[in-house]
Amino acid sequence: MKVAIVLGTRPEIIKLSPIINKLNKKNSTVIFTGQHYDFDMSMKFIKELGLRSPDYKMKLTKLQNTTNDRATQSGEIILNLAKIISSINPDTVLVQGDTNTVLAAAITSIKCNIPVSHVEAGLRSYDWRMPEEHNRIAVDHISELLFAPTKATKKILEKENVHGKIFVTGNTSIDAVEQYIRIAEKKSKITPKTENFVLATLHRGENVDNKETLISILKGIMNSNANIIFTAHPRTIKRLREFGLYTKIKNSKKISLIPAVGYFDMLYLMKKCQFIISDSGGIQEEATSPKIRKKVLVVRNTTDRPEAVREGFSELVGTNSKKIEKAIKKNLQKSTITSRTSPYGRGNSSKKIIQILRKTF
């Protein structure tokens, strides 16, 4: 078995790390596209998690975050990756999730006649505004092996009559939490001002790039009067400044606005907080881990992690300020989770995926 693992963003690094750690250079090649452009910081993140250095690294042309530029980025990855894939000739190309890197790698692989293996297959938000939705649907339909995290995602793939073989494996995000939570508690340098705080994150384009939506979400958060630690993605900081909201949030006595934190610090904050307000898909998964078990108020109109909602780990509250305020106040009084197990597995997803890869290739 010879696997080419292609990754380009921090979430991909996290979710593929349990698989990479179980393989070696003899049976796997790691290819890093550097999709987020911050190449040095991304490499620092790989080292922080104790992963081996990628065998191939790209430095992409830094462009603005527009539709045309996203297309250009995908094309640049394909051009670079085609040369690498052709030279190493792996048995399969393994990708995770729904990014431009994933789509570009899948297209490259199938054109080079290499089977695609897709980790976290079958997720759907049914929100066509999300570029990720386009990517994941396309990749699912050109993959040979589809590793669905839940029975529900398997059913979605079956209804769509995908070409490849489907396996329910759980989600590797749970593996990663299990693997790194103790290290995170030791290494985190975050010191919350109060023990009773709510963690908030926002980064999705449909939320932060729309002024009215962003104002509505922040209004709901501020009117709740909760003690908030708001870890803001660079994209979110940019929009806060652009929309004239940065100073108001920064000067708030109830909101501590801090730059986006690393994985260890995020795990630590998730562990220590009362509950979480977020539009992140990954956080909806990680919060279900037995090592964290925190409620997530999802500030989106749809979610591609409905299992977490059904099991009571997440609550879909939308982007209306009054609904957000009401949900926060309710959970400040009582934020309980009745389900005992994560819908995304028991932390052995990476082992299952590797076993399937070995049997197939």
pLDDT tens for 39-88 read 555 677 788 899 999 999 988 776 655 556 678 888 899 999 999 999 99
Judge whether 240 and 246 are in contact, CB under 8 Å.
yes
**Dmax (CA) of the chain:** 59
Q: Do domains 3-171+345-360 and 185-333 have the same CATH topology?
A: yes
Can you tell me which residue has the tokens 């002024």?
A: 211
Q: Among residues 118, 141, 163, 203, which one is catalytic?
A: 203
Q: What is the CATH number of domain 185-333?
A: 3.40.50.2000
pLDDT in 10s for each residue of the chain, 361 residues: 999 999 998 899 999 999 999 999 999 999 999 876 565 556 777 888 999 999 999 887 766 555 566 788 888 999 999 999 999 999 999 999 999 999 999 999 999 999 999 999 999 999 888 889 999 999 999 999 999 999 999 999 999 999 999 999 999 999 999 999 999 999 998 988 888 999 999 998 899 999 999 999 999 999 999 999 999 988 899 999 999 999 999 999 999 999 988 899 999 999 999 999 999 999 999 999 999 999 999 999 999 999 999 999 999 999 999 999 999 999 999 988 988 899 999 999 999 999 999 999 9
**Domain range summary for the chain, segments of one domain joined by +:** 3-171+345-360, 185-333
The CATH H-level superfamily of 3-171+345-360 is Glycogen Phosphorylase B; (3.40.50.2000)
| 233 assigned to active site | no
Tokens representing 116 are 């695609």
Query: Which candidate, 44, 50, 41, places its Cα nearest to that of 20?
Result: 50
Judge whether 140 and 162 are in contact, CB under 8 Å.
yes
